[in-house]
Chain A
Amino acid sequence: MGLLSFFDEAFFVVLFGTSLRASTPLLLAALGETYTERSGILNLGIEGIMLSGAFGGFVVALFTESILCGFITGVLIGLVLALITGFLTITLRVNQIVVGLGITIFGSGMTSFLFRILFGTRFPTLPVMATKMRIPLVADIPYFGEAIFNQHLVVYLALALIPTLHILLYWTNFGLKIRAVGENPVSADAAGVNVARVRHICLLLGGMLAGLGGAFLAIGDLSFFVSNMTLGRGFIAIAIVMLGKWNPYWVLLGAILFGVTQSLSSGLQVLGVDVRPEFILMLPYVAVIIALVFIARNTFLPSALGVPYRRGEG
């Protein structure tokens, strides 16, 4: 035993495979938030949206016995909460931090309340399991193959979203609009871009992905729901976005960093290494701060991040 078995293929597959799966909710939320922030909105409500997605997804999956329905519900709940956020922050131009925290408190309270009403003190688990899809050939590649290519569909979706969103952001007209709106809404408006619409769309995308992420956490990664089960993942997603300089590829790296530390904390204990899990769980947050100091110190924030836009003002 000991550290040597760290390099054992089976252990590696489990560690990396679980890390990837565990990072997926985070990755989805962070990818969505990348777009939201690029368009100039800081959405602190994704924690609440993820929780609501997790709850809604779980309940629907439980009653319909359909994982797919669960995911769809998660996405829809994310959409609705993002619509509310958008109405308040974009249409009414209310402070984004207040609205975000309001959504988070509401989501956390609502899900816990409804869960208790529905199930009392029971903790039901899903009768159906999310099925994995093994992609032949590539899954036979040693070490990485089994870890990456034997996953749930949503994991592939999240991975596929990375290049897709990157292309959308840098190669399309809509992506250009997003970059312009977050950087200089006045100019974008003068150029004929509908600032509010671009922001609404980005916020909705962010909400849907966060809702899906939450649903995946409850019904893809785990198969139960508990109060506040997201454990701050929504906030971590925001940190990852900043760490990833608003670029989908870098965001993946940040998400994996968190996933790995989470699996490590349990993995190392399995190996019998005597480290308290809290110590390892603390590391990614420290890493974010250190990384910000060294990497992000010189990055440009989207200039208009957090500032409401109104034509003819500033």
Chain B
Amino acid sequence: MIQISRYLSAISSGLAILAALATGAVLLLTVGLNPARVYYELFSRGMATHLGITETLIKMAPILMVSSGLILAFRAGLWNIGIEGQFLIGAILVGWAAPTLIRVLPHGVALLILGLVGFLGGLLWAVIPAVLKARWGLNEIITTLMMNFVGLNLTTWLVKGPLRDQTVVPPQTPVIPLQGRLPFVPFTRIHIGLVAGIICILAIYIIIKKTTFGFQLRVLGENRKAAIHSNINVSRVTILVLLISGGFAGLAGANDVLGVKGLFQAEWNPGYGFASIPLVCLANFNGLAVIPLSYFFSFLIVGGELMSRAAGVPIFFVQVIEGLMFLYFAGGEYFRKRKAGIHGASILL
């Protein structure tokens, strides 16, 4: 049964991607663009060039980290949709602390501490929703959503005000020197964030499957009432899950500041959260399935950017594909569930 359902899951994801690409082709034709050329540029530049592959793998790192946190939360039935805010807070704290720490501490130690700072930043931003949920059962969808907007405005204010690098014109934190950033994986131009991301995903996979904490959060996610009645400390699990989930988002922020951008900039929001939520659902909350999906997803972003420069198609085209992919997948989920004989009307898929 589980085998069949996994097999079907892979097929339906594949079909959803194909259907999205086909619909995209129709759209391109309608506006007078040549879909063959656009997809050729997209795939050849994104998947068959050194630059495309490297950039895609770099992009995967934060998505894997964010997804780790999301899987943990969703498995526990907690809808943390405050990833964006948690990401930004983690990022700005790292952007603020990095220049000093890297100067005074040995490189490795500094990076480790900064990773921790990012994690704690994201974690901090999940404290309020977590406590409100555990203490009063306040709907976390709303509180985390609100915290996103608070976080966005707060970080903008901070980077334009107190944390601003006064020596340059655009509002940003001081630039981290190149030698202070994340080191590369040997023989590549991919920084070690990717390795960290994969470790995160694997760790989450093991935690959920093999540990008592994972067991408790699965029980909580499947049946909250049963969790309460089986002496699981529901408040404790709720708080821990939301905090760790936020922490991973913050870690992704640290990764992007230390590995990609080298600073924190005003009006910068890569929007990993809203994209990763359907992604994680597409993977059926399974950590291993997230790895190939996040690869495809990063490829779309990176390939889209390269393609848009080469073929003169607006970058937003890949976002259309992304949205379509999720909608087609959602439709396919219905048939997959019917085939696999999974019933039940839980809010989870």
Nearest chain B CB to A238 CB, angstrom units: 7
The CA-CA distance from A109 to B145 in the complex, in Å, is 21
Residue numbers in B under 8 Å from A242 (CB-CB): 139, 142
The total of chain B residues at the interface (CB under 8 A) is: 52
A113 touching B146, Cβ below 8 Å: no
Given contacts A93-B345, A112-B319, A282-B153, contact A288 B132 (CB under 8 A): no
A239 touching B345, Cβ below 8 Å: no
Nearest chain A CB to B86 CB, angstrom units: 15
Given contacts A276-B160, A293-B136, contact A103 B345 (CB under 8 A): no
The CA-CA distance from A117 to B147 in the complex, in Å, is 34
B157 touching A276, Cβ below 8 Å: yes
Does B138 sit at the interface, judged by CB under 8 A?
yes
Say whether chain B's binding surface is mostly helix, strand, loop, or mixed.
Answer: helix
B277 touching A95, Cβ below 8 Å: no
Does B268 sit at the interface, judged by CB under 8 A?
no
A103 touching B327, Cβ below 8 Å: yes
Residue numbers in A under 8 Å from B348 (CB-CB): 95
The listed residue (A88, A104, A313) touching B344 by CB distance below 8 A is A313
Residue numbers in B under 8 Å from A307 (CB-CB): 345-347
Residue numbers in B under 8 Å from A117 (CB-CB): 31, 314
The listed residue (A48, A97, A113, A292) touching B277 by CB distance below 8 A is A97
Nearest chain A CB to B128 CB, angstrom units: 7
The CA-CA distance from A101 to B329 in the complex, in Å, is 12
Given contacts A103-B323, A307-B347, contact A109 B318 (CB under 8 A): yes
B326 touching A113, Cβ below 8 Å: no
A110 touching B323, Cβ below 8 Å: yes
The CA-CA distance from A242 to B142 in the complex, in Å, is 8
The CA-CA distance from A101 to B349 in the complex, in Å, is 14
Contact mask for chain B residues 335-347; partner A; CB cutoff 8 A; 1 contact, 0 none: 0000000011111
Count of CB-CB pairs between chains A and B under 8 Å: 162
Contact mask for chain B residues 114-139; partner A; CB cutoff 8 A; 1 contact, 0 none: 00000000000000100010001011
The listed residue (A96, A103, A278) touching B160 by CB distance below 8 A is A278
The CA-CA distance from A162 to B197 in the complex, in Å, is 49
Given contacts A98-B278, A109-B319, A282-B149, contact A313 B345 (CB under 8 A): yes
A292 touching B326, Cβ below 8 Å: no
Given contacts A276-B160, A282-B154, A288-B142, contact A105 B347 (CB under 8 A): no
Given contacts A98-B277, A105-B322, A278-B156, contact A286 B345 (CB under 8 A): no
Given contacts A106-B320, A113-B320, A238-B145, contact A93 B349 (CB under 8 A): no
5 contacts between A and B (CB under 8 A): A95-B333, A98-B333, A106-B319, A106-B327, A282-B149
Instruction: With A102-B330, A105-B275, A282-B149 given, name 9 new contacts (CB 8 A).
Output: A88-B330, A97-B347, A98-B277, A105-B323, A106-B323, A112-B319, A239-B146, A278-B154, A288-B142
List chain B positions with a Cβ less than 8 A from chain A.
Answer: 31, 79, 81, 128, 132, 136, 138-139, 141-143, 145-150, 153-154, 156-157, 160-161, 274-275, 277-278, 281, 314, 316-324, 326-327, 329-331, 333-334, 343-349
